Amino acid sequence: MNLSAGKKTIPLILLGIGIALVAFHVLVNGPSWVKAAFAKIEHPKTYRFETYDRLLHEVVKGDSVDYKLVKQSPLLNKAVDELAVVAPDKLESDKEKASYWINTYNLLMLKLLADRYPIDSPRRLGNAVSFTKFTIGGDTYSARDVVDLKLNEYFKRNPLLAFLVCGGSKGEPPLLDHAIEPGTMITDSEKALDHFVNDPANTRWDEVANVFYISPYFQRYDDYFVAYFESPHILVASHLKKSVPAANVSMLKRFFRDYDHRLNDVEQTNDKSAAPSSSTSDKSSAASSSTNDKSSAPSSSTSDKKASQ
């Protein structure tokens, strides 16, 4: 009897959990849904993130962000509110749309991190990146939605654009001190790549062992890099100030094992205690003797064309 009663109780428990989850999402995202339903939406041909740009000039300090200042700035919520009523569907070019979504992602991540600050890592956000919804041009998106549904489309066309997004960790390319604009987007992406790969924390060539180590950040978009640059190691070598013979088939190509998940906060800039070691992954990707047709891989000078297709 007790076993039978227990079996009957399980569906009720599951139903209760389901109702609780729905209620939670309504409570958390209800304001965004209401805002999306009643907002008067603009459909401009061009759009510049002027408020967000002012915020970046105030809070970005070198490769770090002053999250305490972000949290206090009225520009943060103002920029998010402006984004709610500007739809990208009528923007006149792919560059306009790409810069729109890059700025949108970076702004949403700033908002998520600032709302929960002080924290020591973006990992403290948990599922908020996927489940917290924002109104964007009259529709609702999470920060994860922006990457999966919008940005990946542009990263496939030009992988260098991946160096313009920042989720708040030290292991990622630093957040730039200005909003991305269509006319300078490609130049910004190339400069961001150069800056990232020439940081000793992200690349190392062991000449004695003939091993070339690069940041695990490149594994995140590995398929995109391989499609255009043969391998992420080849891409990195082409932008290093120090010459590295990455095309040498005898060279071992590996990724650093540890990823720096610390928040890119100015308060942690001088804190070395939690920094990842320089240990490297045992998993290596030795260079293959066969090579792809390099004529199909865009050089940095042709990236502009790829982004505008």
Residue range 261-308, pLDDT digits in tens: 999 999 886 555 445 544 444 444 333 333 333 333 333 333 443 444
| Separation of alpha carbons 163 and 203, rounded Å | 15
- Mean pLDDT score, 90-113: 99
* 60-61 and 211-214 strand pairing: unpaired
Q: What is the pLDDT of residue 287?
A: 34
| Separation of alpha carbons 139 and 304, rounded Å | 30
Q: What is the pLDDT of residue 14?
A: 64
The CA-atom distances, in angstroms, between 146 and each of 139, 152, 165, 211 are 12, 9, 11, 36
Q: Which residue has the higher pLDDT, 186 or 269?
A: 186
Tabulate helix, strand, coil % of the chain (nearest 5).
55, 10, 35
Q: What is the pLDDT of residue 309?
A: 40
This model's pTM is above 0.85: no
Give backbone dihedrals phi and psi of 135, rounded to 5 degrees, phi first.
Answer: -85, 125
- Reading the block at residue 170, the tokens are 């030290």
- Provide the CA 11 distance to its chain's centre, in angstroms: 40
| Separation of alpha carbons 100 and 98, rounded Å | 5
Q: Which residue has the higher pLDDT, 267 or 185?
A: 185
pLDDT at 49 over 60: yes
Would you place residue 59 in the very low, low, confident or very high pLDDT band (cuts 50, 70, 90)? very high
- Mean pLDDT score, 113-131: 98
Average pLDDT, the chain: 84
Q: Which residue has the higher pLDDT, 290 or 106?
A: 106
Residues in contact with 47: Cβ distance below 8 Å, sequence separation at least 6, in sequence order: 86, 88, 91, 96, 100
- Mean pLDDT score, 37-64: 94
Q: What is the pLDDT of residue 276?
A: 54
Q: What is the pLDDT of residue 27?
A: 59
Q: Where are the domains of the chain?
A: 36-183, 196-308
Would you place residue 230 in the very low, low, confident or very high pLDDT band (cuts 50, 70, 90)? confident
Q: What's the chain's length in residues?
A: 309
